[in-house]
Amino acid sequence: MTLTLDQNRIPKRTLASGEQIPCVGIGTFGSDKYNAQEISNAVYGAIRYGYRLVDCAAVYQNEAQIGEVLSRVQEEGIVSRSELFITSKVWNDKHGEGEVIASCKKSLEDLKLDYLDLYFVHWPFPNYHAPGCSGDSRNPDSRPFSVEEFMTAWRQCEALVDMGLVRYIGMSNMTIPKLEAVLPLCRIKPAALEMELHPSFQQPELFDYAVAHEILPIGYCPIGSPSRPERDRTAEDVADTELLAVAEAAKAHGVHPAIICLKWAVQRGQVPIPFSVKEAQYMSNLSCATEDPLTDEEMDAIAKEDRNCRLIKGQVFLWEGAKGWEDLWDLDGTITK
């Protein structure tokens, strides 16, 4: 017998359009550790259990397998297309004129869909690195952020909405200075901002900025990405599941600390997109949003655990002459050139 979570029990988040989406989604990046078949199997089980939001991307190299599953769940009558909320993202090597549209069409073909619910510009640079490359590899063609280049990609996202191929468009890995530069130029505003968010990296200014601009924050690495690739690890990184306030709440609620990270994310108001191929994990990652909430005191204690600990530093996207990964994130409040 398949256990299924009652959809009415899953809290919703509201987009600027008024449409409601689930408060938790499932991630699909296998961190070079899980293959496309394992991930698509998990997406099948997750949808059957009650997930409706699936966070995909061309660069995760598994959209064709996930597409099989999206067809299957509809054929089996588990969900209709309109009940699903499927996202994808254009990769950094496809920002040029015409390339965003072609890339979106390829994702649609792979995912076997007529439209995407939300399409992201994955990173605000056309800087490319080969999948699985090492952390210190640099592409000589990499360049700093350019408003003009970004808008070439964004205009195509807007055209995808006009063409009916995409319902909403979003940005990912942005900073406030970059948003300040591009938002006034957008004909269609981003519905969501996908950003790294977990207890040790709460990005309060960017989170508040997004909310104030009616842009829904979607939080990636919500558990602190314990299985992330070697290239995304440094000695200074903090493990979210070991933070005192997280560990204490886990003990009090009798759950794994990962579940506390997710409860905190949901109650704060972002949409976490935890990844797991393990049935017990992905089931509890969704059901935890429906029961036994954290107390105000626990929420406050976790808020104080912010260490400004960015895990996905993006160093493989640096350009010649950049000082370090911090240059990607405009830490002095202006766009770093």
Ligand X SMILES: NC(=O)c1ccc[n+]([C@@H]2O[C@H](COP(=O)([O-])OP(=O)(O)OC[C@H]3O[C@@H](n4cnc5c(N)ncnc54)[C@H](OP(=O)(O)O)[C@@H]3O)[C@@H](O)[C@H]2O)c1
The rounded distance, in Å, linking the Cα atoms of 310 and 173 is: 11
CA dist 73 to 42, 60, 61, 218, Å? 12, 21, 21, 24
What is the number of the residue whose Cβ is closest to ligand X?
A: 27
**Nearer of residues 297 and 308 to ligand X, judged by Cβ:** 308
**Nearer of residues 263 and 297 to ligand X, judged by Cβ:** 263
User: Contact 191/15 with Cβ under 8 angstroms?
Assistant: yes
**Closest distance to ligand X from the beta carbon of 46 (Å):** 11
- Identify whether 60 is a catalytic site residue: yes
**Closest distance to ligand X from the beta carbon of 310 (Å):** 11
Q: Which residues, including other chains, have CB under 8 Å from residue 76's CB and lie 6 or more apart? A: none
**Closest distance to ligand X from the beta carbon of 65 (Å):** 14
Element holding 180 (H helix, E strand):
helix 176-182
**Nearer of residues 18 and 125 to ligand X, judged by Cβ:** 125
> Which residues of this chain interact with ligand X, rule CB under 6 A?
27-29, 31, 55, 122, 172-173, 194, 220-228, 256, 258-259, 273-276, 278, 281, 284-285, 312
The rounded distance, in Å, linking the Cα atoms of 294 and 299 is: 6
- Catalytic-role residue among 49, 60, 209, 220: 60
Q: What is the DSSP string of 217-270?
A: EEEESTT--TT--GGG--TT---GGGSHHHHHHHHHHTS-HHHHHHHHHHHHT-
**Closest distance to ligand X from the beta carbon of 316 (Å):** 12
**Nearer of residues 209 and 220 to ligand X, judged by Cβ:** 220
Annotated active-site positions, please?
Answer: 60
